[in-house]
């Protein structure tokens, strides 16, 4: 691993702003890292959208230059989790284990090539690799990052720092022919939540002796032995976990019968909010002012799910945004302008196009979460 994770993040990223994967937060200080989420329309206030100067020429053409102004980066390997940081993002490439920085530019400028910040050895076979990344709540001071990865023997959580090899934080999460994806999110500045897949074995998800198919809590995770607390069991192939903008969290997972969106209340109760019998491949999630946005793989869209702001109940079908426009989506994080940034997985899971795989900024729908694309 190359040294200086924090130092290698490009100039212009304010390191004191802690923006965590899956549910990005903005304009936060290290002493108060958790605030309400950006909005995906429908809140009474129009979200700010990227402004393009109409006098500027269109984006130049050429290899790895997607003419779509909402495309942030091109010609990557298939992406997984990502962390939005103002006009930039850190993106994990699932199969390679690389963590790249990508930067948004205006439509008259070619997309700059992604910059490798660091990498971690992974087993990228099947659906394994590096699934998710989060920054330390004090990343500006310590430069630490956490990752959920697949190794030759297990799935695990590791800490990445400037001083060398990844440090194991939680090991022994079951590995299988599938169901190896996992996700990370901070519930508080000291509590790291870990969503694990069932490794293709639903029985493991129900087994209290297995770490598979669980939602776990790690208190003040550090290198060495960490004993996780089981918050919820019976989960399938992991999608993502993200904060709901208040004190709870959203959880997405896939089972043999259906894909699910569940809500975790502050008291630890996990309630099913919505199901998809057609199994569109729920992946990354990020909270919005109206509910939650969810990247869909097989559905090839961003699902905007409206939820009651107090009960978090979901009573209307999700709105599909940018469906069939960018292919299969996996990672999701909220941008500071009201958009959702997503990663695509067409090289490994779909039909790649000329510019795949990509990081894309999906603007909010006109007229709120229920409006048209």
CATH code of the domain in which 140 resides: 2.120.10.30
What phi and psi values does residue 119 have, to the nearest 5 degrees?
-150, 160
- pLDDT for position 62: 77
Q: Is residue 367 part of a domain?
A: no
pLDDT at 63: 86
Beta bridge partners of 246: none
pLDDT band at 196 (very low <50, low <70, confident <90, very high): very high
What's the average model confidence in pLDDT over 344-350? Answer: 94
Residue 97: CB atoms within 10 A of its CB come to 22
**Among 116, 106, 31, which residue's Cα sits nearest to residue 70?**
106
Whether residue 373 lies inside any domain: the answer is no
pLDDT band at 106 (very low <50, low <70, confident <90, very high): confident
Phi and psi, residue 63, nearest 5°: -60, 135
> Could you tell me the CA-to-CA distances from 30 to 6, 83, 138, 172, 333 in Å, in that order?
15, 16, 6, 32, 20
357 pLDDT above the threshold of 90:
yes
**pLDDT in the model for residue 364:** 76
What average pLDDT does the chain have?
Answer: 84
Asked if pLDDT for residue 325 goes beyond 90, the answer is yes
Residue 121 lies in a domain: yes
Percent helix, strand and coil across the chain, each to the nearest 5:
5, 35, 60
pLDDT given at position 295: 98
In the predicted model, is pLDDT for residue 370 greater than 50? Answer: no
Inside any domain, residue 56: no
Residue 54 lies in a domain: no
pLDDT (tens digit per residue) in 210-267: 999 999 999 999 766 679 999 999 999 999 999 998 889 999 999 999 999 999 999 9
In a domain, 311, yes or no: yes
pLDDT of residue 282 exceeding 80, the answer is yes
Neighbour tally for 307: CB within 10 Å? 24
**Does residue 165 or residue 24 have the better pLDDT?**
165
Element (H, E) at 177: none
Strand pairing category for 155-160 and 167-173: antiparallel
- Give the torsion through C-alpha atoms of 145, 151, 155, 158, to 10 deg: -20
Residue 371 domain-assigned (yes or no) = no
- What pLDDT, in 10s, does the model give residues 5-17? 666 553 333 333 3
Residues above pLDDT 70, as percent of the chain: 80
pLDDT at 3 over 70: no
Residue 21 pLDDT > 80 = no
Give CA separation, 142 vs 6, 120, 148, in Å. 8, 18, 19
pTM: 0.86
- Predicted pLDDT of residue 279: 98
124-179 tens-digit pLDDT: 999 999 999 999 999 999 999 999 999 999 999 999 987 778 999 999 999 999 99
Domains held by the chain: number = 1
CB 76, CB 96: distance < 8 Å? no
Coil, strand, or helix at residue 112?
coil
Lowest mean pLDDT among 25-29, 75-79, 227-231: 25-29
Average of per-residue pLDDT across 272-295: 96
pLDDT in tens, 31-69: 233 433 333 333 333 333 444 445 556 776 778 999 999
203 part of a folded domain:
yes
Task: Using the CB atoms, write b or e for 177-202: b if 16+ within 10 Å.
Answer: eebbbbbbbbbebeebbbbbbbbbbb
Domain region containing 104: 5-40+68-362
What's residue 202's pLDDT? 94
Other residues' Cβ atoms within 10 Å of the Cβ of residue 61: 9
């Amino acid at each position: 691993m190359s040294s200086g994770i924090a130092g290698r993040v490009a100039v212009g990223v304010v390191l004191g702003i802690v923006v965590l994967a899956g549910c990005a937060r903005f304009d936060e200080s290290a002493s108060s890292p958790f605030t309400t989420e950006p909005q995906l329309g429908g809140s009474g206030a129009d979200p700010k959208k990227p402004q393009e100067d109409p006098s500027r020429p269109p984006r130049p053409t050429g290899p790895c230059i997607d003419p779509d102004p909402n495309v942030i980066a091109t010609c990557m390997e298939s992406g997984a989790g990502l962390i939005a940081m103002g006009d930039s993002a850190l993106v994990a490439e699932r199969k390679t284990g690389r963590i790249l920085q990508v930067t948004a530019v205006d439509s008259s400028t070619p997309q700059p090539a992604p910059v490798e910040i660091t990498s971690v050895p992974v087993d990228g076979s099947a659906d394994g690799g590096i699934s998710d990344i989060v920054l330390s709540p004090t990343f500006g001071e310590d430069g630490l990052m956490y990752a959920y990865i697949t190794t030759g023997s297990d799935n695990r959580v590791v800490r990445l720092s400037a001083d060398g090899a990844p440090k194991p934080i939680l090991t022994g999460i079951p590995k299988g022919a599938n169901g190896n994806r996992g996700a990370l999110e901070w519930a508080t500045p000291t509590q790291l939540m870990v969503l694990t897949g069932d490794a293709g074995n639903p029985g493991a998800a129900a087994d209290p002796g297995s770490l598979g198919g669980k939602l776990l809590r790690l208190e003040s995770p550090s290198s060495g032995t960490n004993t996780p607390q089981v918050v919820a069991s019976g989960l399938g192939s992991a999608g993502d976990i993200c904060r709901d903008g208040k004190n709870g969290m959203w959880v997405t997972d896939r089972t043999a019968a259906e894909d699910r969106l569940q809500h975790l209340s502050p008291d630890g109760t996990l309630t099913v909010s919505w199901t998809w019998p057609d199994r569109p491949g729920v992946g990354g999630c990020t909270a919005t002012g109206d509910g939650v946005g969810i990247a869909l793989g097989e559905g090839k869209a961003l699902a905007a799910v409206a939820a009651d702001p107090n009960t978090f109940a979901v009573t209307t079908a999700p709105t599909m945004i940018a469906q069939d426009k960018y292919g299969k989506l996996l990672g999701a994080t909220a941008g500071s302008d009201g958009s959702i940034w997503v990663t695509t997985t067409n090289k490994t899971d779909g039909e790649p196009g000329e510019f795949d795989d990509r990081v894309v900024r999906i603007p909010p729908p006109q007229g709120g979460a229920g409006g048209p694309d």
